[in-house]
Structure formats: structure tokens, C-alpha cells
Amino acid sequence: MYYFDHSATTPIQPAVLDLMNSFQSNVYGNPSSIHSQGRKARSIIENARKQVAKSIQANPNQIIFTSGGTEANNQVLWSMTHNDKKHVISNVIEHPAVIKVLQSLEPLGLEHTLVPVNKNGFVSVKDVENSIRDGTGLISVMLGNNEMGSIQPVKEIVEMAYEKRILVHTDAVQCLGKMKVDVSELGVDFLSLSAHKFYGPKGIGILYIKEKETLSSFMIGGNQESGLRAGTENVASIAGIGLAAELITTDLNQHIDQLNQFESQFKSGLKAFFPNAVFNGDPSNTLPGLVSVSFPGHRSDILLAKLDQANMAVSSGSACGAGDVKPSTVLSAMGINDDINISTLRFSFGSSNTIGQVDSLLTELKSILTNG
């Protein structure tokens, strides 16, 4: 199968898998134990912590390991229920791992405001600022959108929020390996990552915390992860995220160039035989290799199914089920009408792709769009 859905998940790097398999077989001590097997496991965890920290220009003691981006987001938002300021600002195209959590925390007294986005999927710093009130304690805005790839003005939001003593969290799950992620430049208080988005294992992520006293424990039990994430650590997966983060950031510029090449090849090739294609968003400020494109007159679920039959994996932002296609909430929030919305597919390229595969994708799309 040709895989063009890297924004959903990525294939694990062979070197990462080999490392994890080795540790699964040979390192079985509990990292909290003081014997040699426990110390070895602890050493592996701390080395991975250093690798992840270096990949985002953080200090190792600012990194805690989680089960993924969803848990990391949850922990930040749940922590706000213990804050004196219980108003959170986010936006209408944020991931469900933020929006649904905010909704679920309303019975606990946490209030939230979702600011709009413009036609290209960007949040306005001014809209965020205008939503601030006396009880605002946190602003949560993703760094790069999972459906559109729009890169949000997080640094500018932080600069505005800092003067008002408001914490800022960013979900950067889509970003490592597609852009420079530097917490010292961004200035955020919290940042979430998930290994399976950058060729690491599923089920492991990290939460960067600028100052640990701003965060409350979400998982209650032992004193693991500086008392902020209880439970015996998943040593092999932690080693996996460490190596995956190191590998993707070591070759960052090369990887970005490759993604840009695939994106350019795909867009120009598609326009050549389907000039009515609508590329959503502002390409000058989006994550490389992520293309949201609408095919007027064609339903996304049908296109997706035909590509799948041709052994080509892509995705749709629309929710498809029982013959009914529901418009993407992200595209709707950008003002895109339903007819265009339900004709939209997301193509997200990655290091597992080749120029030849992109050519094959274009050939198959041409056949589908021409022959119906």
C-alpha cells in the first residue's frame, strides 16, 4: 500500500523498533527498583528524557512522559480545575483532545471561550486578547492544525499573555519533524507531543512543563515522573520516543525539503489535469507535506474508497458513516460551504514516500476523476 496519511500516524522507524525490541527482551527491571536491572531501566528513561528535551530545546527536568498527546492535553486542562483562575481560552478548530475536555470540565467549574478562525484557519491574537477576563488562567492554541496544517501565532499569543500573567499551552503533536519546535523561542508554559506522529511508537508522548508548580498530577498513585504522572514507566516506548525525537530533529532540514518536494509535485500534477481543485488554507504558513484539497463535484467518501481499493491510503476530515457524509468542523469554521467541504481530502506525505509513489497517486486520481 502507498501511504499518504502521515498526519494520522507514521510508520515506526526501523532503528526505533529494533531498540525497543531489544529493551523489551533484555531490560525488565522496574525503574523504581534500586538493583542493577532497575538502575538500567532508570538510565534508559533518563537518556530518552535528554533526547526529547534536546529536540525541543528544553531542560530534561521539564519533560514528563505520558501515554500520548491526548493525555498530555488532558493533564494541562484538568490542572486548571485546581487553579484560582478557571477560565480557559481556546479556538474552534482545536483538536477534540482539547475542546471535548473543556466541555467535560464545565461541571467542575471550568469555563471556556472558543475564538473563531479566519478563512485560512488562523487564530487572531487580537481575538484571543479580547476574550481575556479577570478569571482567565490559560490559553490553549495548537501550534499546527492537524487537518489544515495552519501554523498558529503561538509566540505572539505568549508575548501578549505574559504581560497579563496567563499561562499558555500548545498542542504541537503535528509539528516535530515538520518545523523547528523550540520552547525557548515559543515561550509556552506547556507543550504536548506524541511519538507516533514522528516515526515513533504509539501510546507514548510527552508534556513539556516550564515550571512544574503550575501543573497538578493527573494520574494518582506512585511518585513517578516527579510526582506528576503515576504508574510504572513504559521503558521500551520511552526509549523509542527518545530515539525518534533525536532522529527526526537531526535530519530536520532534509526532511522538510523532502516534504516540500512531495507537496509541490502533488499540487502541480493535480492542477494539470484537474484545474478545479481547491487547495484550502494559506500555503505560505502551513506545515510542509500536508495538503487539504477539495474536489468540487466529487464526494470525499467515494474518492477515499476508490483510492483505498487502489491500495492508496489518504484521509478525509469529514465524518463518514452509513452513507452519510458530515462536513468537517474545521472547514466549516473557516466558512467553507458544505458542498466543497464534503469533497475534501487530506494528503499528508512523509519519509516513507517516494517521487514515484506521488506519481502513482496522481495517475490514480486522474483515472478516478476522469472516469467517475
Catalytic residue annotation: 320
Place of cell 525557548: 184
CA dihedral sign, ordered 355, 357, 359, 361:
negative
Amino acid at 357: Q
Contact 245, 51 (CB under 8 A): yes
Mention every residue, 6+ apart, whose C-beta is less than 8 A from residue 222: 32, 230, 231, 232
- As a whole number of angstroms, the distance between CA 140 and CA 166 comes to 11
> In sequence order, what are the beta bridge partners of 316?
none
- As a whole number of angstroms, the distance between CA 28 and CA 12 comes to 22
Q: How many Cβ atoms sit within 10 Å of the Cβ of residue 57?
A: 15
CA separation, residue 3 to residues 8, 251, 308, 323, 332 (Å): 11, 21, 10, 24, 27
Which DSSP state fits 200? S
Helix H or strand E segment including 267: helix 252-273
SS3 113: strand
- Max CA pair span of the chain: 67
